[in-house]
Amino acid sequence: MNAYITGPRLRRAATAALLAALPLAGLTACEEVDRSLAVTDPDIINPGDVNSAAAAEALRLGAIARLNQATSGGESFWLLGGLMADEWRSSDTFVQRDQTDQRAVEDNNANVSDAFRSAQRAFLAATIAGRELGDFEQPGWQVGEMHVIQAYIENLLGEHMCNGIPFSVLNAEGAEEYSPRLTTSEVFERAIAHADSAIAAASGDEADDERVRNAAAVMKARALVNLGRYAEAAAAVADVPTDFEIVNEHSQTSRSNQIWALNNSGARWTMSLGEGGNGLDFVVNDPRVPACRPSRTDEATVPAFLEPCPGGTASRPFDRATPVPFLVQQKWPERESPAAWVNGIEARLIEAEAALAGGGDWLGILNTLRAGVDGLAPLTDPGTAEGRVDLLFKERAFWLFSTGHRLGDLRRLIRQYGRAEDDVFPTGEWYLGASYGDDVNFPIPQSEHNNPQVDVPTDAPVCIDRNA
């Protein structure tokens, strides 16, 4: 018999010996066993352990990560908005994506519910982080950064959801504070207020303060444009540099760029060549929206200038049978491609729209932007009011491709410029044989029926006005 016992056998033997001795050892031995078993579980975080400045910083980083997921790092409204509009077509077998492409979205659509939830999580994370950063007197720009995220989400949801958006949060005691349905205008006014709070908080002289003020200025101006207050919007971004931007980072070990993942890699989305009569053709040899041709795409069905896609790109659409050509974007050509969620280019586009509304040099602003990109010739004045609006919104579409702006812009063409829905959105026969629906935005998800402030029957829509 072996004289030595090692590893698990030794532990079992020691435990057996200790338990055998307990009846003889009395209360003191029991107390020793209790202490030996009362180890700290490393997976449990006690509330007291997160009540610190370091914990507030962790919450700030978490809010930034949530924003990433709600934009380029998830199947967000950056994609879904473009699918309902004219940036993308569905090349998938999932009915949820087909519904969006067809403009006939049900309120139990899982993709829309996920995108809405991701946006709300980013908003909630920024709300909590901003409160904690303030409580621990962290730098003002950090508090301001959280207000910017709040303003960004309010703009994003105001542009994509139907009239009647809730923003429920947790209060300082950790209890739920359910939100009533807010009108679209109320949501944009909230975005302006959060942007102003960000500017006030980031009042220092550090580079981070300036970065946050610039981002807040663009968020404020975006909300003002959504409210039709163009001159105020232009004034808000007057000091924002054109080369300013804040980007989401992506990597294989954290979060992939999901536009790359769902188009270049997964082939579930394809770029639009001019959808439903009214849609823009985004594959027109424009360096702002580069594209390539997958190996199994029929060359006769796509523009001749397209180069073959690089290795590792999906060769054909996911559904294997989509009747529209499968085309791949190259704006973000890799899994790791960073994506800007706010930049100075948008500031200039806002100024151009204000100039067009006020009789200023809108064309000069657009041509100055174009002069910074090789391959873009100067624009000429179309000569009519309608043509000028068309040109401005086309420039916005190409500069801001798939960054969550296009659906809001189409809605503004109806709301602010008097266009008819059938002259703006894709119409007629949808590519799988049915007709397009009449959605111009997304329904509030069915899950919001659980919100007691919404207070609607289970079979009634949550929206105040489905297509407002």
pLDDT above 50 for 208: yes
Looking at residue 454, its pLDDT comes to 86
φ, ψ of residue 30 in degrees (nearest 5):
-60, -40
pLDDT above 70 for 24: no
Looking at residue 10, its pLDDT comes to 38
Question: With contact defined as beta carbons under 8 Å apart, do 194 and 148 qualify?
Answer: yes
Looking at residue 78, its pLDDT comes to 98
Looking at residue 227, its pLDDT comes to 98
Q: Which residues pair with 343 in a beta bridge?
A: 245
Mean pLDDT of 283-292: 97
Question: With contact defined as beta carbons under 8 Å apart, do 271 and 89 qualify?
Answer: yes
pLDDT above 60 for 205: yes
Residue percentage of the chain with pLDDT more than 70: 89
Looking at residue 421, its pLDDT comes to 96
Q: For 50-82, what is each residue's pLDDT tens digit?
A: 689 999 999 999 999 999 999 999 999 999 999
Looking at residue 293, its pLDDT comes to 93
Looking at residue 33, its pLDDT comes to 58
Q: Of 322 and 381, which is predicted with more confidence? A: 381
pLDDT above 80 for 43: no
Question: With contact defined as beta carbons under 8 Å apart, do 180 and 454 qualify?
Answer: yes
R_g (Cα) of the chain, nearest Å: 27
> Angle 406-415/77-84 helices, nearest 10 degrees?
50
DSSP string across 146-175: HHHHHHHHHHHHHHHB-B-B---EE-TTS-
Q: How confident is the model at residue 387 (pLDDT cuts 50, 70, 90)?
A: very high
**Nearest C-alpha neighbor of 416 from the set 466, 374, 460, 353:** 353
**Nearest C-alpha neighbor of 158 from the set 182, 140, 134:** 182
Mean pLDDT of 407-434: 95
Q: For 159-170, what is each residue's pLDDT tens digit?
A: 999 999 999 998
Question: With contact defined as beta carbons under 8 Å apart, do 77 and 160 qualify?
Answer: yes
Looking at residue 465, its pLDDT comes to 81
Looking at residue 29, its pLDDT comes to 55
Looking at residue 175, its pLDDT comes to 87
Contacts for 353-357: CB closer than 8 Å, 24+ residues apart: 353/225, 353/230, 353/233, 353/392, 354/230, 354/231, 354/233, 354/234, 355/234, 356/388, 356/389, 356/392, 357/230, 357/231
Residue percentage of the chain with pLDDT more than 90: 78
**Nearest C-alpha neighbor of 92 from the set 219, 261, 251:** 261
Mean pLDDT of 3-12: 40
Which of 171-175, 177-181, 330-334 is least confident? 171-175
> CA geometry: angle at 416 spanning 394 and 364, to 5°?
45
> CA geometry: angle at 218 spanning 420 and 212, to 5°?
155
Q: Of 319 and 278, which is predicted with more confidence? A: 278
Q: How does strand 169-170 pair with strand 269-271? A: unpaired
Which of 1-10, 306-315, 374-383 is least confident? 1-10
Q: Which residues pair with 177 in a beta bridge?
A: 169
Q: How does strand 269-271 pair with strand 291-292? A: unpaired
pLDDT above 70 for 138: yes
pLDDT above 70 for 432: yes
Looking at residue 297, its pLDDT comes to 79
Q: Report the largest interatomic distance among the alpha carbons of the chain, rounded to a whole angstrom.
A: 102
Mean pLDDT of 434-455: 92
- C-alpha 102/C-alpha 108 separation (Å) is 16
